[in-house]
Amino acid sequence: MARVKGGVMAQKRRRNILDEVKGYRLQRSKKKRVAREAIYHAQLHAFAHRKDKKNDFRRLWTVRINAALLALGVKYNHLIKQLKAKNIELDRKVLATLAKDHPESFARVVEQVK
């Protein structure tokens, strides 16, 4: 049986790994072993931080809604409770957008809830 050398496939594997770490710094972008470990950690963090991003945005929406409500003299928790009681199905993302970009519409929503 003829001997099969793995140079071509090894080179292809190495090139694919190094293509994935373009833009990384120092050895992480140049050496296969370090690059492979960097890819592993980057993918782990990417998964975890996608989940964290959802929490971050929800917090941001809450802050924006609360800031707009301060001017109208209403508390955030009262608004949310009244929205649920009156079956007004606006989520926090929509409320935050209204508060930021269309304050007059937001004020009308708050008036309906009062």
CATH number at residue 48: 1.10.1900.20
Cα–Cα distance measured from residue 71 to residue 15, given in angstroms and rounded to the nearest whole number: 58
The pLDDT value recorded for residue 39 is 96
The pLDDT value recorded for residue 5 is 83
Residues 6+ apart with CB under 8 A from 13: none
Structurally, the chain folds into a number of domains equal to 1
**Residue 2 lies inside a defined structural domain of this protein:** no
The pLDDT value recorded for residue 13 is 93
Question: 3-class DSSP state for residue 25?
Answer: coil
The pLDDT value recorded for residue 3 is 85
**Residue 17 lies inside a defined structural domain of this protein:** yes
Cα–Cα distance measured from residue 14 to residue 35, given in angstroms and rounded to the nearest whole number: 9
Please report, as a single letter, which amino acid is at residue 32.
K
**Residue 14 lies inside a defined structural domain of this protein:** yes
pTM to 2 decimal places: 0.67
**Residue 72 lies inside a defined structural domain of this protein:** yes
| Mean pLDDT split into 10-residue runs, the chain, 114 residues | 86 95 94 95 92 94 95 92 91 94 94 88
Write out the residue range of the structural domain in which residue 94 sits.
7-113
The pLDDT value recorded for residue 58 is 95
**Residue 12 lies inside a defined structural domain of this protein:** yes
Q: What CA dihedral angle connects 43, 45, 50 and 53, to 10 degrees? A: -160
**Residue 1 lies inside a defined structural domain of this protein:** no
The pLDDT value recorded for residue 57 is 96
